[in-house]
Amino acid sequence: MLEIRDLHAAAGDRQILNGINLTVNAGEVHAIMGPNGSGKSTLAGVLAGRDGLEVTAGTVTYKGLDLLDLEPEERAREGVFLAFQYPVEIPGVNNAYLLKAGLNEVRKHRGEPELDAMDFMTLIRARMKLLEMDDTLLSRPVNEGFSGGEKKRNEIFQMAVLEPTLAILDETDSGLDIDALKTVAGGVNALRDPARSLVVVTHYQRLLNYIVPDFVHVLSGGRIVKSGGKELALELEEKGYGWTETEPAAASA
């Protein structure tokens, strides 16, 4: 599904990623953990095609495609989805309109017929239930005036509608209270599928109680310094990130 080899990336003249190696197979859930500034969000941004990040070395292959060669929208149409750490408020753009336009672009790309308003609403209603979303959020401008929890829920809701094959969740847990966290995690778990891979970027172990990963990787200084199973997250919780830095760098899964 996803094959990251020796990935180096910089933002301006600041080198942030220093040789990431990671393989994600279909159906797997990988957690990327690490302290602030370790490069977690940069990695997520590079995968989604964010402007201003320059890949200085390495390759990323996704479903056999050179991912780095694709525009952000081409990646999205190929099934890559980034749940933003800070979802953007876009006044004047209707939430439902954006979703319908996006979904139809994805469908066109897959050679499927575009959904009409009726079919779209049927799909939307089902997905909203999954995320326990309020109906009124649909008709409101994208993220405008949403609470922190509503924004994160909206991200996962969009993911549920766009049905990606590779979803990258960038600190989707940050700022959520425990109830909202459970709802969001429940939505994510409902979308787990043998054909869908998840990369869950998080600072805290808490989210991983609800979205149980197959693999946990620790990012530090722009490299994966440790990889393991879900128990690694618990160890990190106990010992803190300082502990990993004294360990020898480990190759990723």
Partner 1 sequence: MTQIATGAKSYAAQFAAFAQSTPLPSALASLRDDAFNCFDRLGFPTTRLEEWRFSNVTPIADTPFVASVTAPSYGQAALDALHLPELDGPRLVFVNGLFIPTLSSTEGLPPGVRTRSLSEVLVNDPETVQPHLGRLARIENHAFTALNTAFLRDGGVIEVAEGVVVDAPIHLQFVTTGSDGPVLSQPRALVLAADNSQVRVVESHAGESETPYLNNALTEVVVGDGAVVDHYAVVREADTAFRIGGLFASLGRASNFSSHAITLSGAIVRHEAGVVMNGEGGVCTLNGLYLGHGRQLVDNQTTIDHAQPHCDSHELYKGILDGRSRAVFNGKIIVRLDAQKTDAKQSNKALLLSEQAQVTTKPQLEIFADDVKCTHGATVGQLDEESLFYLRSRALSEAQARQLLIHAFAADLLSHIKVDAVRHQLDTLLTERLPVGAGETDHH
Task: List interacting residues with partner 1 (CB under 8 A).
Answer: 48-51, 71-73, 75-77, 81-82, 84, 87-88, 90-93, 98-99, 101-103, 105-106, 109, 141-142, 158, 162
Rounded CA-CA distance 1/181 in Å is: 27
Q: Could you tell me the maximum CA-CA distance found in the chain, to the nearest angstrom?
A: 57
Residue 148's φ and ψ, nearest 5 degrees, are -55, -45
Given the complex with partner 1, which of 62 and 81 has the nearer CB atom?
A: 81
Closest distance between partner 1 and the C-beta of residue 74, in Å? 9
Nearest by Cα to 70 from 92, 46, 96: 46
Given the complex with partner 1, which of 30 and 151 has the nearer CB atom?
A: 151
Closest distance between partner 1 and the C-beta of residue 242, in Å? 33
What does the chain come to in residues? 253
Residue 232's φ and ψ, nearest 5 degrees, are -60, -35
Q: Which two tokens stand for residue 191?
A: 């979308």
Given the complex with partner 1, which of 47 and 181 has the nearer CB atom?
A: 47
Q: Which two tokens stand for residue 237?
A: 């919780």
Given the complex with partner 1, which of 113 and 194 has the nearer CB atom?
A: 113
Say if residues 98 and 142 touch (Cβ distance below 8 Å).
Answer: yes
Given the complex with partner 1, which of 37 and 72 has the nearer CB atom?
A: 72
Residues 6+ positions from 147 with CB-CB distance below 8 Å: none
Residues 6+ positions from 90 with CB-CB distance below 8 Å: 98, 141, 142, 143, 144
